[in-house]
Structure 1
Amino acid sequence: MTTSTNLMRQRRFLPLFLTQLLNALNDNLYKNAMVLFVVYQVYDSPEMETLISGVATALFVLPFVLFSATSGQLADMRDKTRIIRWIKFAEIIIMSVGATGLLLAARGISVEGLAIPLMFVALFAMGVHSTFFGPIKYAILPQHLHKDEVLAGTGLVEAGTYVAILVGMILGGVMPIMASIVVVIAIALVGYIVCRWVPPAPPETTETKVDWNPLRASKSLILFSMGNLELRYSVLAISYFWAIAAILSVQFIPLAKNVLLADKQVAAVMLVAFSAGIAIGSVSINALLKGDISARYSAPSVIALGGLLITFYLLCRMWDLTPQGELFTVTEFLSQPLALVLTANLLLIAIAGGMFVVPLYAFLTTRVEKSEASRSVAANNFISSVFMVVGAGVAGVLGYFGIPLEEQLLLSLFLCVLSAQLARKLHALEALRGPELP
C-alpha cells in the first residue's frame, strides 16, 4: 500500500495513470449511453436487445483481433509517449463522430438509418484507439518503475481502469443524452492535455521495421507468445477470464431488464458493482502478495469465481417477482428480499476476478525483455480479444435463439475450470524458474 501511495505522487506514473483512467472512463460512458439508449428507447424485444448488446461488445473488441500485432510492434519500436499523444488526439475526433450519432438519436433523426450506424462506427474506432493504447499502458511500467513497483503499478492501472469503468457506467446510465454528448468530447480534450505530461519512453530495441501485414504479423505474435511457457499460460488464462467477462457483459443489461424486471439505472448499479469489485480485487492482491509477482493465488481466485457464478445463477432463478410499475426502479429493486444478496454476490465475483487477473498481467511485462514487453501485452490483447469476440458472439446468438439468460451464465463455469488449470501450471513453472527477469 505504501508503494501504491508513493507511485501516485510520481510524474513517472501519475500522468499515465490519469490518461488511462480518462480513456476507460470515456470508452464506457459512451458505450453505455449508446447501448442503454438503444435497448431502452429504440427496441422492445429481449432477442434484439441481447443481439445489439452482443454486436456492440464484438465491435469494440474486434480491432484488438485485427490490429494488436501492429500496435505491439509500434509500441516496442517507437517512443511510447509520442504514440499516446497521437492516440489521445484521435479520441477527440472519434468522440465527435459518436456524439453526432447520439445527438441525431436523441432528436429522433434517422435513428436506424444514420444515428445508430454513426454510433457503431465511433464504437469500432474507439476499439481501434484502445488497441493501440493497450500495450503501452502496461509495457511502459517496467520502463518507468522499479522492479519492486511493477506489481503495484499494474494493480493501480487495473484498479483505475475499473474505477473509470464504474464511473462511466454510472454516468452513462444517469446522464441525459444531451449531457453525455458534451461530456464525452470534454473528457477527450482533458485526456489529451494530461497525456502531454507523460515522461518520454524511447524504444529499447534497435528494430525499426514494422510488419504492416496483419495476418503475417498476427501469426508471428502468436508464435512469440506461445514460445514462452510462462507467457503462454498467462495469456491463455487471461483470455479465458475475458471470455467470461464478455459473456457476462453481454448479459447484464438484458438480464436486468428481462429477468430482474428492472430499469436501466438498476442495470447500471449491477455494472457498477462488478467494476467496483474488479478494482477492489486488483488492489487487494498487491497487498496480499506484498509486491511479489506470483500466480499462487490465481487458481483459488478463479475457482471461487466459478462457485460464486453458480450462486448468482441460483439467485436469478429464484427471482420471481412482479414490479409495481413497468420496471423496478433502483429503490424498488433494492427493497426486494434477494436484491442485496444478489448485488453482493456480483461484487464478490468481480473481486475474485481482479485477484485472479492482476498478477497475470504483471507476468506479461516481467517475464520477457523490456524491448518485447509491448508485444507481450499485444499478444495477450490479440488472443484475449478473439476469446471475447467468440464469447460475446455466442452469448448474442444464444439470446437471439431464446436461450434463457440465466442458463447462459453457466457457460462461464467451463472457462473457470480451464483458467484454474492454467494458473496452477503457471505457478508450478514459476517455482522452477525463480523470480522475474532482471
Structure 2
Amino acid sequence: MSDRPLSSAQQTRRSAREHGSQFRLLRERRFAPFFWTQFLGAMNDNVFKIGFTSLVTYQAARFSGVNADTVAFLISAIFILPFVLFSATSGQVADKYDKAMLTRFVKTFEIGVMLVGGAGFWLHDALLLYLCTFLMGVHSTVFGPVKYAYLPQHLDMTELVGGNGMVEMGTFVAILLGTIAGGAAAGSEAHGAAILAFGCVAIALIGRVASGFVPQSSPSQPDLRINWNPVSETWRNLKLARENRTVFLSLLGISWLWFVGATFLSSFFRFAKDVLSANPDVVTVLLATFSIGIGTGSLLCERLSKKRIEIGLVPLGSIGISVFAIDLFFASHALPKAAHLFTVAEFMTLPAHWRVLADLFLLAMFGGFYSVPLYALIQSRSQPSHRARIIAANNILNSLFMIVSSLMAVALTSAGVGIPGLFLVTALLNVIVAVYIYSLVPEFLLRFVAWLLVHTFYRIRLVHAERMPEQGAAVLVCNHVSYVDALVIMAESPRPIRFVMDHRIFRTPFAGWLFRHAKAIPIAPAHEDPDLLKRAYDACAKALDDGDLVCIFPEGKLTKTGDMNPFRHGVSEILQRAPVSVVPMALRGLWGSVWSRSADARFPRPIHKGVMSRLTLAVGEPLDPAQATPELLQQIVSELRGARK
C-alpha cells in the first residue's frame, strides 16, 4: 500500500466504508445496479419454477406425462444440469471479458428464455416448460461466475462480508417474492398460466433495463485463450481450486450447503401437502420463513464479524443447521390432521405449526452464518486473474451436489421414507460432513473457539486495528498475560497467524492436535532442546518467506504478577533469518481472569459483559526490522498496554 496521505475525500469514503451500514451500498452505482439485476434474475427464476411446480403438483391432470410426486425433484435436476455442462466455459468467459457487458448479454438472453416459458404456460406444454427450465439454468450458469467475481473487484475488504450478505439477503428476498408471485399466479385456475407467462417476460425486461447501469468491470485476464472442451476445462478449474487447500475445502463446504438447501426447498410442496395437510398457499409461508431466515443470518454476518471475513461463524452455522433440522423432524410428528387442506389462516392458529416455522427460520438463519463467510473467504483468497474460474469450479461442485441431493431424495422417497425422514437423514449427514471438513481444516474450528470465547465472555476494544497487515509477511509481538492470548489475537486478526508456542502445549491431546493442524510452531528454550529451538526459528523464517504472519510472545512465559517479564532475543533471531516488518501489540484486561496466573482469578460471566469482561488489543506502528530490538519492543508494548494489566 502507498504511504501517501489520503485526501479529505478519500478519508471520508474510507470512514464511510469502515463505519457505515452495509445498506449504504444500495445508494452507490458500483453496487446498486448489480444488486437489482441479480435480484430480479433470482426472482424470475422462482416465479417460473414455483409457478411450474405448483401447477403440476396441484393441477397435474392438465399436464400429460407428468408425475406429481417427483416433478419438484426433476425440475431441480434439469435446472442444475447446465451448471455441470457449461460452468467451466462460463468461468473462462467471465475472466476474459468485461463483466458489465456479460451481465447485459445474460439479461437479454433471459428475455428470449422467458418467451419460451411463456409459450409453455400458455399452451400447458410440459416439454416447453422443461426446456425453459434448462435454459434458465444456462442463464444462471453464465451469470454465476460474473456475480461473485464482480464483488471483490468493486468492494474493498471491509465491505466484502457486508456486500456478500446483501447479495445473499437479496437473493432470498427475491426467492420469497418470486415464491409469493409464482404461487399466487398458479393458484388462479382460470388465468394462472397466462399471468405466469406475462409476468416472467415482464421481470426479464425490467432486469435488462437495470443491467444497463452496471459500471464497467475490466476483465481480469483479457488474453486468456478459452478452452471449449468442458471436460478438460472442468478438470483444470478443479485443479486451480485445489491449489489453495482452504479455498478448495471452502468450495466443498458451500456445495454441501447447496445440497442441504436443495433437499429442503425441493421438498416443501410435498411437506406442506402430505405432512402439514396444507394447501399451496402454506408452501408460500414455509418458503417465506426460510427466505427471511437466511436473509436475516446473511445480514447479521457483518455485525457478528465486525466487517471482517470471520470464518469462525461457519462451524456455528453448521451446528445450528443440524440442531434445528433434527428438531424439525420431531416437530413434524403428531401434527394435527384435518378432513381438508388447511388454509393459511387455519395453519397459523395451531401452536404445533409455529414450532415448525421456528425450526425453518432458525435453520435458515444459521445457513446464512455458514454461507456468507465462505463466499467472502473464497473471493479474498483466490487469485484475481482466475477468480471467476474458481467460482465456476464452485458452481460445478454445487450442481453435482444438488444432483446427488435430488437422486437421494427420489431414492429415499421411492423406498418409503417420508419428508420428515428425509430432513433427519440430511441433518445427520450434515454432522458427518462438518466433522470431516473441520478435521481437515482446523482453522475453521480454531476461529470458532476464538470467536465464541470473545463474544460469549468478553467485549473487545480494538485500538488502531488497521495497523494489522492485510497482506504480506510480518512478525507480531505481544505481551503474554493468559492462556487464551493466542485465541484473542486470532479472533481479531483479519488473516491466519502462525503462533510460536511452548512445545509442552503440543503434548496435550486436544490442544496438541488443534495447534499442530493450525500450523503453530513449537519452541523450547536452548537449555531444554537446542535442536527444537533451531527448527522453530527455521520454521518462522520459512513461514515469513511464504508471506505469512508469525506471532511470538517474547517474554517466553506467562506473567505471574501481571507485570511484563523481560523480552528475550527470539525476535532478533527470527529477523536475522527473515528481515520483515514488526508489529508490536498489547493486551489489556486479561490479568485477573481464570485464564491467567493471578491468585485472585475470576471466571467471567457469560453474556453479561461488565467491567471485568472488557479487553483491549492495542496495535502499534509497524517497525523496520533493523529498529526492532527486544528493548525497544518491550518499551513500545509497555506503553501500548498502559497501566491496566
TM-score range, shorter chain: over 0.9
| 1:212-259 Cα deviation digits (max 9, x unpaired) | 101001011111112211211110111111111111122111111011
| 1:111-156 Cα deviation digits (max 9, x unpaired) | xxxx111111101100010001011111111111222211111111
How large is the Cα RMSD of the aligned pairs? 1.8
Q: What's the offset of the Cα at 1:397?
A: 2.7
Partner Cα separation in structure 2 for residue 43 and residue 199 of structure 1: 48
Q: Does the CA contact (< 8 Å) of 1:298 and 1:420 recur in 2?
A: no
Q: What's the offset of the Cα at 1:398?
A: 2.1
Matches within 5 A, 1:222-371: 222-319=238-335, 321-325=336-340, 327-371=341-385
Q: Does the CA contact (< 8 Å) of 2:289 and 2:361 recur in 1?
A: yes
Look up the SS of the partner of 1:140 in the other structure.
helix
Matched, 1:11 2:29: yes
Q: What's the offset of the Cα at 1:52?
A: 0.7
Partner Cα separation in structure 1 for residue 277 and residue 36 of structure 2: 37
Paired residue for 1:156?
Answer: 166
Aligned length, in residue pairs: 422
Q: What's the offset of the Cα at 1:415?
A: 3.4
Matches within 5 A, 1:41-52: 41-42=59-60, 48-52=67-71
Look up the SS of the partner of 1:318 in the other structure.
coil
Matched, 1:136 2:143: no
Q: Does the CA contact (< 8 Å) of 1:3 and 1:149 recur in 2?
A: no
Matches within 5 A, 1:23-422: 23-42=41-60, 48-105=67-124, 115-175=125-185, 176=188, 177=192, 178-319=194-335, 321-325=336-340, 327-417=341-431, 418-419=433-434, 421-422=436-437
Partner Cα separation in structure 2 for residue 425 and residue 221 of structure 1: 25
TM-score (norm 1): 0.93
Partner Cα separation in structure 1 for residue 161 and residue 178 of structure 2: 25
Paired residue for 1:108?
Answer: none
Q: Which protein has the bigger helix share?
A: 1
| 1:326-351 Cα deviation digits (max 9, x unpaired) | x1111111122301121111111100
Identical positions, percent: 36
Paired residue for 1:110?
Answer: none
Q: Does the CA contact (< 8 Å) of 1:172 and 1:180 recur in 2?
A: yes
Q: Does the CA contact (< 8 Å) of 2:60 and 2:68 recur in 1?
A: no
Q: Does the CA contact (< 8 Å) of 1:50 and 1:250 recur in 2?
A: no
Q: Does the CA contact (< 8 Å) of 1:51 and 1:397 recur in 2?
A: no
Paired residue for 1:425?
Answer: 442
| 1:97-119 Cα deviation digits (max 9, x unpaired) | 111111112xxxxxxxxx11111
Q: Which runs of 4+ in 1 moved over 6 A?
A: none
Larger Rg: 2
Partner Cα separation in structure 1 for residue 71 and residue 412 of structure 2: 13
Q: What's the offset of the Cα at 1:206?
A: 4.4
Q: Does the CA contact (< 8 Å) of 1:55 and 1:396 recur in 2?
A: no
Unmatched 5+ residue regions in structure 2?
A: 1-18, 448-494, 499-547, 550-645
Look up the SS of the partner of 2:111 in the other structure.
helix
Partner Cα separation in structure 1 for residue 70 and residue 380 of structure 2: 39
Partner Cα separation in structure 1 for residue 101 and residue 324 of structure 2: 43
Q: Does the CA contact (< 8 Å) of 1:281 and 1:354 recur in 2?
A: yes
Q: Does the CA contact (< 8 Å) of 2:316 and 2:369 recur in 1?
A: no
Q: Does the CA contact (< 8 Å) of 2:237 and 2:389 recur in 1?
A: yes
Look up the SS of the partner of 1:212 in the other structure.
coil
Q: What's the offset of the Cα at 1:8?
A: 1.1
Amino acid at match of 2:337: T
Amino acid at match of 2:108: F
Q: What's the offset of the Cα at 1:50?
A: 3.5
Partner Cα separation in structure 2 for residue 57 and residue 239 of structure 1: 15
